[in-house]
Chains A and B, each alone.
Chain A
Amino acid sequence: MLRVDGISVRYGRIPALRRVSLEVGEGELVTLIGANGAGKTTTLRAISGLLPLAEGSITFDGRSIANAPPRTILDLGIAHCPEGRRVFPQLSVRENLEMGAYRRRDRAGVAADMERMFQRFPRLLERLGQAAGTLSGGEQQMLAIARALMSRPRLVLFDEPSLGLAPNLVEQTFAIVSDIRREGTTVLMVEQNAYAALEMCDRAYLLEGGAVMEHGTGRAMLANDHIQRAYLGG
């Protein structure tokens, strides 16, 4: 479905990614693990068109999306759920969800999808008119996930969905990501919590210093010596 082939990205003259290649098959849940600054977020941003490529190619369903504008990539069915500042703080919860469907023209479909989001995240319905910036961290994350789904993506890129959340919310967030995959949406997730990520994923890639160091199934990666020592505290 998604094929990333030897991409490099530079911030000015500083290389952030060096010839990264990875693949995500239809229906898979793939994770990128690695330390801070390893290039995980950069990889997602390059895929969704937020960063220009210095070299390499990216194809989605066989179609090149390298250096395409973000809106084109979104239209093809890739949604990005970024880390950090995840919502539009001064817009209401409803407006945030509407922004997720900004490119869609089918009003009835958008309304139906919004209903589905309220069933999945009842908290959002309770907070509908409230400014998103006043939500708790966990609620903001739910909103960010719901907003990403509002574009009806076939592939969702999750960037550190558990970052900054309380432990019980972390578990809940991972459960939601698994649900989304079970419903047929393909997921590529960046996660610092290597153990949880490897447990839930089909396959994983380990990034170090902007390059892919290891890849394999989640189970194989969990058993990998290097990963155990460096990332799992084993």
Chain B
Amino acid sequence: MTQQLLPWLFLAFMATLPLWMTDLYVLHVLVSTGIFIIGAMSLNLLLGYTGQLSLGHIAFFGIGAYTSALLSLGFDLDLGGAEPFVVGPQPVWIAFTGGVLMAAAFGGLIGKLAFRVRGAYFVIVTISFAQVMRMVALNWVDLTEGPMALTGIPPLSVWLPGEGVIGLYDKLSNYLLVLGVAVVCYVVIRHLVDSRVGRAMVALRENEPLARSVGIDVTRYLVIATVIAAGMAGAAGGLYAHYVRIVDPDVFLFIYTVTMVIMVITGGKGTLAGPIVGGLLFGALPEVLREVARPEVQWIVYGIAMIVIVFFLPQGIVPAAGRLWERLRPRRPAPGGTALRAGKETSA
């Protein structure tokens, strides 16, 4: 019962947080952490559920960010033809959706590839993919402005009755927006994982030859998983672009993928709450430490925390907390198969 209540309590806490937390800097940290948590949740779908380690996950984030930014600013594409291909500035939400779709399309491509190259090779291919994307963003100056970055990106907007369309410039509305998108992603992942598709993904992670022999179409589910994960990472990228309102090629940096992987692994891969717990911990930790320690000490503590968690809780924080909860809970007949077994033993 408590376990079903927990997500709701957490959501209520996060939704009411701005009522008492008015420090703009804290809100900013929560917005950027929230954006990363969405990215980590999408990575978890691949890493935690299908067991594929994509170390180029930030590529989808960056593709979402660039596509959404370019569509909202408008651009012309000179492909060597007589007339350049001109796209005028689009409404922000159309641009955002375009970013999600573009990232998802690239996800489909990588998913197809994952079927051909597995394990270490897949990891290398995904890292290279993100590096190539960064090179494209750096050097295709006509389109991306290269290192000069895309600037003046309009914020996302909402329509409110009586107020009309308003741009989301402030921290509070961006906080609520990121929270809303995160909830949507959480619900989508939750439904997916509980469905036939989700079970096929887990079966694939657990024992691939067996999964194939019970009739699971491995390619299809890998592609579905990467398309959805890439689309969500693209959404996170879109949120980022319209929040900080400037995008440069450094969004493709490897360190951001690593950050997401850390969030997933420490929180607990293959659990719904894992990326959220890991994300809040490692998103907030540097900021909490900033108050009490010098920068170099902060990073040392950050590194030690990571090692300690991986060393002592190899499954991650969430599964460990679950086990602790089981142990502390007063003994009552558990539901399902265990109860049946316990009952039999006492009656025998």
Contact = CB atoms under 8 A, between A and B. Distances in A.
Interface string A43-76: 0000010100000000000000000011100110
Interface in A92-138: 92-95, 98-100, 102-103, 125-130
Contact of B210 (A85, A95, A98, A125): A85
A82 interface: yes
Interface string B200-242: 1011001101111111110000000000000000000000000
Contacts of B206: 88-91
A80 interface: yes
Contact of B207 (A75, A80, A88, A129): A88
B160 to A, nearest CB: 46
B214 A151 contact: yes
Contacts of A100: 214
Interface residues of B, number: 22
Interface string B178-210: 000000000000000000100110110011011
Contacts of A88: 202-203, 206-207, 210-211
A130 B199 contact: no
A152 interface: no
B207 A89 contact: yes
A85 B337 contact: no
B341 interface: yes
- Size category of the A interface is 20 to 34
Given A87-B207, A88-B207, A89-B206, A102 B337 contact: no
Contacts of B202: 88, 90-91
A129 B215 contact: no
Contacts of B211: 88, 99
B347 interface: no
A94 B340 CA distance: 14
Interface string A180-220: 00000000000000000000000000000000000000000
Contacts of A151: 214-215
A86 interface: yes
Interface string B315-337: 00000000000000000000011
A131 B26 CA distance: 42
Given A90-B202, A126-B340, A70 B212 contact: yes
A70 B209 CA distance: 10
A74 B211 CA distance: 12
B213 A50 contact: yes
A40 interface: no
| Chain B at the A interface: SS class | helix
A147 interface: yes
Contacts of B207: 85, 87-89
Contacts of A99: 199, 203, 211, 214
Given A128-B340, A129-B338, A82 B200 contact: no
| Chain A at the B interface: SS class | loop
Contacts of B337: 92-94, 125-130
Contacts of B294: none
A82 B199 contact: no
A48 B213 contact: yes
Nearest to B339: A129
Contacts of B213: 48, 50, 70, 74, 80, 82
A16 to B, nearest CB: 16
A99 B201 CA distance: 11
Of B210, B217, B338, most buried by chain A (CB within 10 Å of CB) is B210
Contact of A82 (B209, B216, B340): B209
Given A127-B337, A128-B340, A91 B212 contact: no
Contacts of B209: 50, 82, 85
Interface in B215-273: 215-217
A93 B340 CA distance: 14
B116 interface: no
B193 to A, nearest CB: 13
Contacts of A48: 213
B22 to A, nearest CB: 44
A102 B221 CA distance: 14
Interface of B: 196, 199-200, 202-203, 206-207, 209-217, 336-338, 340-341, 344
Interface of A: 48, 50, 69-71, 74-75, 80, 82, 85-95, 98-100, 102-103, 125-130, 147, 151
8 nearest A-B pairs in the assembled complex, by CB-CB distance:
A129-B337, A128-B337, A71-B215, A88-B206, A103-B215, A74-B215, A129-B336, A80-B213
Given A48-B213, A71-B215, A74-B215, 18 more contacts: A50-B209, A70-B212, A71-B216, A74-B214, A85-B210, A89-B206, A90-B202, A90-B206, A91-B202, A91-B203, A92-B337, A99-B211, A102-B203, A125-B337, A126-B341, A129-B338, A130-B337, A147-B214
11 contacts: A70-B212, A74-B213, A74-B214, A74-B215, A87-B207, A89-B206, A90-B202, A91-B203, A126-B337, A127-B337, A130-B337
